[in-house]
Amino acid sequence: MRRFIVGVDFGGTEIRSAVFTSSFEKVAVYSIATQSEQGAAAVLHRIEDCITSVLFAANVVLEEVMCIGLGIPCFLNRHTGHTLFSPEYPDWNNVAVVAYFQNVFKIPVFIDKDVRMHLFGEWFFGAGKGKKNILVLSIGRRLDAAVVMDGRVLYGATDSAADISHIPAVPGGRRCSCGEHGCLCRYVSAVGVIKTFQEEISVSSDSGLQSKLPVDMISAEMITQACQDGDKAALATMHRTGEILGESLVQFIALFNPEIVIIGGGLSRAGDFLLNSAQKVVTQRLRRFERRECPLVISPLQSDGTLLGCAVHAARCLAAAKEKKYNGA
């Protein structure tokens, strides 16, 4: 019998699912809108529909599926299969994700944070392949990170290791949804870039975007494209964002000592416009102490990395569950 694995990436705007062979070759991908405003129960149903649809697209029957891996944008308990909470999705407190899907599909289901799923993808098939110390950042609508140290994924006491989103970055800075001010996610994220751009054009008119669209309709993607067109305000925005990212990375690199920093998520499409200033800060601040350069690279897998990581993680969990010795590394 053929054997397959399903990976699911539950994102803020889109749910993506993919079918992989047992050797992690992608067979089919399917996506639908998340519509998170409808609540957790509705999103669980939409994930269920997305899985059913990708199996149909791949011409795979449920009996051929070994397991399902889901990347969840919440704090969670991977052992019980429950979400704990999410600042972005208030009604995702204590949702029994694993129980729901195991009841629907009657096969093993494993969950982890979406950024850790991306880490698994990069570690086994992407820029982190063959490395034992990796820092992955996902910069998009949200900001998150995951770490491999000495060949083991870091989880911490509550499965929230490397939660960098709400680390103070700018004292007395922008108010955050968590109730604090100056959190890193308010600057290094799609929302942060838009706010920085608005601040730039409030003191300068060096942007063609504001002549084309109302300010509140300008997206992070548009700002990235404007950088490629040489827009001065957009370039200044990415430079400032990169510097703030670099200053924070100095701390993370000193703490975790990675061989490489891999950056994914929608904002990573800004490429060198974002990374050059971040890399400059990191190199200047750490060269003397690290005695080597820690490269910052854009994820070669991008969004497929999370789907692939979901499949890898689920397969590893399934194999280890059979051996009763899985430790997450």
Task: For residues 34-38, give the mean pLDDT.
Answer: 92
Q: Dump pLDDT digits (tens) for 57-76.
A: 999 999 999 999 999 998 99
pLDDT band at 289 (very low <50, low <70, confident <90, very high): low
Residue with tokens 């992989």: 20
Q: Give the mean pLDDT of the chain.
A: 91
pLDDT per residue over 192-230, tens digit each? 999 999 999 888 767 777 767 777 788 999 999 999 999
Average confidence (pLDDT) over 264-293: 85
Quickly list H helices, 208-231: 209-212, 220-228
Q: Provide the whole-model pTM.
A: 0.91
169 torsion bin: left (phi>0), alpha (psi -120 to 50), beta (else): alpha
DSSP 32: E
Strand partners, 275: none
The per-residue pLDDT for 102 is 96
pLDDT, tens digit, 9 for 90 and up, residues 154-197: 999 988 899 899 999 999 999 998 889 999 999 999 999 999 99
DSSP calls for 231-268: -HHHHHHHHHHHHHHHHHHHHHHHHH--SEEEEESGGG
> pLDDT grade, residue 326 (50/70/90)?
very low
Give me the count of residues in the chain: 329
Question: What is the residue-wise DSSP string for 34-47?
Answer: --GGG-HHHHHHHH
For range 313-321, the mean pLDDT: 93
Q: φ and ψ at 27, to 5 degrees?
A: -105, -45
For the chain, the straight-line distance linking the first and the last C-alpha, in angstroms and rounded, comes to: 30
| Distant-in-sequence, close-in-space partners of 254: CB < 8 Å, separation ≥ 6 | 286, 289, 290
The answer to whether 148 touches 131, Cβ cutoff 8 Å, is: yes
Q: What's the Cα-to-Cα distance from 159 to each of 57, 110, 182, rounded to whole Å? A: 34, 14, 24
Give percent of the chain above pLDDT 90: 76
